[in-house]
Amino acid sequence: MGLRMQARVAFVSGGGSGIGAATAIRLAQEGATVVICGRRREPLDAVVAQIVAAGGRADAVQADVGDEAQYVAAIEAQTSTSDWRLNFTTSVDGTFWGTRTAMQLMQASGGSIINLSSICGTLGTAWMAGYSAAKAAIINFSRAAAAEGAAAGIRVNVVVPAVVETPATAAMLSDLATRKATEKLIPMGRVGQPVDIANAILFLASDEARYITGAALPVDGGRSAVLV
């Protein structure tokens, strides 16, 4: 079977570490030319070097997805609602700018856009109202974009992970008791790995998912299927 992403260009936001890096590597392994972006140059360059060393094609663009001028005016949230706004600036605004730009570029040729949400966007999470609301917004925004883009052959889907072992969760998961308690809530008995998410993104980007759009795909070891 041929490479699923041969002769395609993939743009991966947050590609310097965690899920983004794993996704960039998997897409490159399947033949895509990958462009990754993120705030810090060194991790981006390291991922590009890893892809190139394996025979792939990749480049890096340094950009802050929470800053519209860099991503496609500095945005500062210094009010009493700063945490709330930060969640929407980073998650929702960045997703909107990226999706809007990609859809403009894909009008003639079609394409696939995969946005990343969280189980917190489908289940209420105490003390995480801003994060949960932002992740829920990504899901319904993506559904609307899917409806708008379908006639042009543009598919828009969302991957919805639960806890994934990344630098962002390292401190939490390093505590053995916390890790065991987290894993106990997951039917498959373990937290996700970045490659688990990357494989789902690869599937949605490929022609194997050509009739799938507007979907929010849980990749969570069954976490969203059970009540606590």
Which sequence positions are flagged as catalytic? 131
Q: State the maximum Cα–Cα separation within the chain, in Å, rounded to a whole number.
A: 55
Q: Which of 35, 26, 30 is nearest to 4 (CA)?
A: 30
Task: Count Cβ atoms within 10 A of the Cβ of residue 6 and give its class: 0-12 exposed, 13-18 middle, 19 or more buried.
Answer: exposed
List Cα–Cα distances, 152 to 92, 102, 147, 205, in angstroms. 23, 12, 10, 16
Length of the chain: 228
Is 223 in contact with 190 (CB distance < 8 Å)? no
